[in-house]
Amino acid sequence: MPPLKFGFGQAVTRKEDDPLLRGAGRYIADAVPAGALRAVVLRSPHPHARFRIADLGKARAMPGVRLILTAEDIGDLGNMPCEGLIPDVSIAIPPYPVLARETVRHVGDAIAFVVADDVDLAQDAAEAIPVEWEPLPHVIGAMAALAPGAPQVWPDRPGNVAFEVAVGDAQATREAFDSAARAVSIDLVNQRVVTNYIDTRGVIAEYDGERYTLTLGSQGSHAIRDSLCEAVLRIPPEQMRVITPDVGGGFGTKLFPFREYPLAAVAAEWLRRPVAWLCSRSEHFLADSQGRDNITTARLALDAKGRFLALDIDIIADMGAYLSCYAPYIPWLGVGMAPGLYDIPVCHVRLRGAYTNTVPVDAYRGAGRPEASYVIERLVDAAAHDLDIAPDMLRRRNFIRSSEMPYRTQTGKIYDSGDFAAHLKRAQEIADWDGFKKRAAASRRAGRLRGIGLSTYIEGCGGNGPETATVRLERDGGLTVLIGSQSSGQGHATAFAQVVADQLGLPPEKVRVVQGDTDVIATGAGTGGSSSIPVGGVALEGASRKLAERIKRLAAEALEAAPADLEIDGGAVRVAGTDRLISLADLAAREGIEREQLTASDTFAPDLPTFPNGTHLAEVEVDPDTGAVTVINYVVVDDFGATLNPALLEGQVHGGTVQGIGQALMENTVYDPASGQLLTASLMDYPLPRAADAPSFTFETRNVPCKNNPLGIKGAGEAGAIGSCPAVLNAIVDALWRAYRIRDIDMPATPQRVWAAIEKARKAAAT
């Protein structure tokens, strides 16, 4: 059979784009039924306070008001779940109530849920609720929270310590530093960021007297249903249906439940009317979990030849006021990836979580892995500067060699495959690394500083599961795919159709992918950890292969041929080398063939994660008079094991890289320490990268097949966000180092921050 033009490895155009470009997408706000009641949440204006809600009679009697819920009304509900714990570490999880009871712990903490005929009436009633406040001392920032005498977020958690864990051999690490020829240290801030997907969260709740139906934007309907039913509503999952329509971005934040979901469910049950809550953009800043927010000290010991001897890292992770769903596990993921791509004989990593009076922190694209990559790649560049060794040479000298695979790191990760020096070399070739000095000289003549920076990253992902896929041949000859993975813009309908095509030979338009409905799809792991294709794709490939075998057996009877002599292509089953065939539609319509015979399922549960890796190379110009940074050139060479759809893959890398550029140059979540107020609570105050802030990318793959995955695939969805921040910052520091011997600068490298560093260096040089 000739190669398929729409199968594995082909750059098939996204089939889902046409309705979206025509405005026919159906997002959560489009799904609100006529006559639905609308809800708003009354939120705390204080970072820490005791409160009492006085008589609600006036607010409840206001025109159009149907219901006001407070903590007293929902005392039978459980707390919001914290499921992502650190293995073998005991963590005392503080209560995360659906509505705060007596005490609020961050600005935006929820204290009441108001339902009315429309949003304006609900907002009027929320503003009329009489609340008596008694402000309490608050603390902003993890370092301040861990300082002696700091105000306590939780009175029974002394010192604001949420958890503490260490990995590695502390004694061996100390001894290695004591005997090392050189030691390099760097202090880093990985600032807090806000997800900012295109469509904000929302939920539509309905209750028919027996079951709840929640329609909401998510990264996995089953995960949210199961968490809500088990932990919060305390009902069997069979009593709830969760439907997910189109989703405009998730980035980890839409993977888990939020308070508004059970509140809307309870309101719908009480009122026997559909209840809709839609999050405003400013409310998103106050209500949705945020990301990153680590403070790290990292040290590297080296011998006289520049070989790495030991790594020592101390991480303080700001958890916010509550432990969100996967919160402790996120920085723990970063601990595991701390050594990066390097052969480091011993290491020690200490991780502490701190409570602060801020919005809780949870998964954000990469979930701990970007933080780890940022630390090790900034540290290696600092070592290169201190030792006066070229950063690429220092990396090559210390890379894990491909001949050493599988390689077990000192944090217990087992890398199965990779050729790190090869993708570094290729990125340098594309970027004309050797010609940089001429370009830097030209920039100097124009009054600019030019820098070039590397980031060679590795991450562990593609290990979520199990995931089950079902494929069914329909009477019209098309195929239906049922799978619990959930697209939030990645292009699953196209990618999954390509997986099916390899076995069943149908073009994407003949494949219907069904996601996001717990009544239609039995199980689902959801979309997270770059696992949709490495896990869901494997399950789908297995189901498609089983269905192909069943179809051949059925067609063999119709064609009076042996199954081994048949091939499936172009919507028909054909006796190879002849014109004898039966269409899939005719086969499905044959008398006596049951639907079960035309359906196949398969489940895949990975034993180990995959380890995508690659090189990001950024070239920047800095205006020394204003501090403005322009990304001039950007090259990415990645090892994703195998490529299903090059076009979709490149789009994922571009998107993740731009998110990293946004964090590197502009994004920053700022709380006022004195008042505890969030100062960046809108897109007027929190800048996001635009097209003009991103360069034209050059992207290639240099794939080494993954030995941990049946399709050879390594996860790809988070990689761009993992390699980009250190590449951009290393390029900026390179420019500043060459001109002013500035060795370090924190994200975001805003014009003000860069200009201040230059002015400080100029004044120091003058004295």
| Domain assignment of residue 715, yes or no | yes
Q: Write the burial class of residue 516 (CB in 10 Å: 0-12 exposed, 13-18 middle, 19+ buried).
A: buried
Local structure of residue 99 (DSSP, 8 states): S
Tokens 């179809």 — which residue? Answer: 551
Q: Write the burial class of residue 209 (CB in 10 Å: 0-12 exposed, 13-18 middle, 19+ buried).
A: exposed
Pair 510, 630 in one domain: no
Helices and strands of the chain, counted as H and E runs = 19, 28
Give the per-residue SS3 of 612-659.
CEEEEEEEEEECCCCCCEEEEEEEEEEECCCCCCHHHHHHHHHHHHHH
- Tokens encoding 343: 């052969």
| Domain assignment of residue 351, yes or no | no
Which conformational region is residue 541 in: left (phi greater than 0), alpha (psi within -120 to 50 degrees), or beta?
A: alpha
Which of 604, 627, 654 is a domain's end point? 604
Pair 56, 120 in one domain: yes
Query: What are the C-alpha distances in Å from 40 to residues 62, 117, 123, 228, 262?
Result: 15, 11, 6, 20, 14
- Tokens encoding 427: 């990125």
Pair 483, 436 in one domain: no
Q: Are strands 346-355 and 291-302 parallel, antiparallel or unpaired?
A: unpaired
Pair 98, 217 in one domain: yes
Which of 604, 630, 664 is a domain's end point? 604
Whether residue 341 contacts residue 235, with contact meaning beta carbons closer than 8 Å, is answered with no
For residue 115, give its domain range. Answer: 32-136+196-287
Pair 202, 79 in one domain: yes
Pair 485, 537 in one domain: yes
- Tokens encoding 207: 């209750």
Query: What are the C-alpha distances in Å from 321 to residues 41, 93, 213, 330, 631?
Result: 18, 11, 30, 16, 36
Q: What is the pLDDT of residues 293-316, one digit of tens each?
A: 999 999 999 999 999 999 999 999
Q: What is the pLDDT of residues 371-426, one digit of tens each?
A: 999 999 999 999 999 999 999 999 999 999 999 999 999 999 999 999 999 999 99
Tokens 């260096």 — which residue? Answer: 761
| Domain assignment of residue 314, yes or no | no
Pair 618, 752 in one domain: yes
| Domain assignment of residue 142, yes or no | no
Give residue 4's pLDDT: 72
Q: Is 693 helix (H, G, I), strand (E, B) or coil?
A: helix
What's the number of domains the chain is made of? 3
Pair 448, 492 in one domain: no
Q: Which residues contact 732 (CB under 8 A, 6 or more apart)?
A: 451, 453, 620, 622, 629, 664, 745, 749, 754
Give residue 767's pLDDT: 85
Q: Which amino acid is at 168?
A: G
- Torsion 34-220-317-380 (CA) sign: negative
Q: How confident is the model at residue 564 (pLDDT cuts 50, 70, 90)?
A: very high
| Domain assignment of residue 186, yes or no | no
Pair 453, 523 in one domain: no
Region 564-578 average pLDDT: 94
| Domain assignment of residue 391, yes or no | no
pLDDT at residue 1 tops 60: no
Alpha-carbon gap, residue 110 to 281, rounded angstroms: 16
The mean predicted confidence, pLDDT, of the chain is 96
Which strand (E) or helix (H) includes residue 229? Answer: none
CATH number at residue 269: 3.90.1170.50
Q: How confident is the model at residue 3 (pLDDT cuts 50, 70, 90)?
A: low
Query: What are the C-alpha distances in Å from 236 to residues 197, 226, 239, 485, 525?
Result: 31, 8, 6, 22, 18
Tokens 């041929």 — which residue? Answer: 561
Q: What is the pLDDT of residues 604-614, one digit of tens each?
A: 999 999 999 99
CATH number at residue 589: 3.30.365.10
| Domain assignment of residue 725, yes or no | yes
Pair 584, 694 in one domain: no
Pair 130, 275 in one domain: yes
Longest dimension (CA), the chain: 94
Q: What is the pLDDT of residues 441-470, one digit of tens each?
A: 999 999 999 999 999 999 999 999 999 999
| Domain assignment of residue 564, yes or no | yes
Q: What is the pLDDT of residues 501-548, one digit of tens each?
A: 989 999 999 999 999 999 999 999 999 999 999 999 999 999 999 999
Q: What is the pLDDT of residues 23-61, one digit of tens each?
A: 999 999 999 999 999 999 999 999 999 999 999 999 999
Tokens 């006796």 — which residue? Answer: 575
Pair 60, 129 in one domain: yes
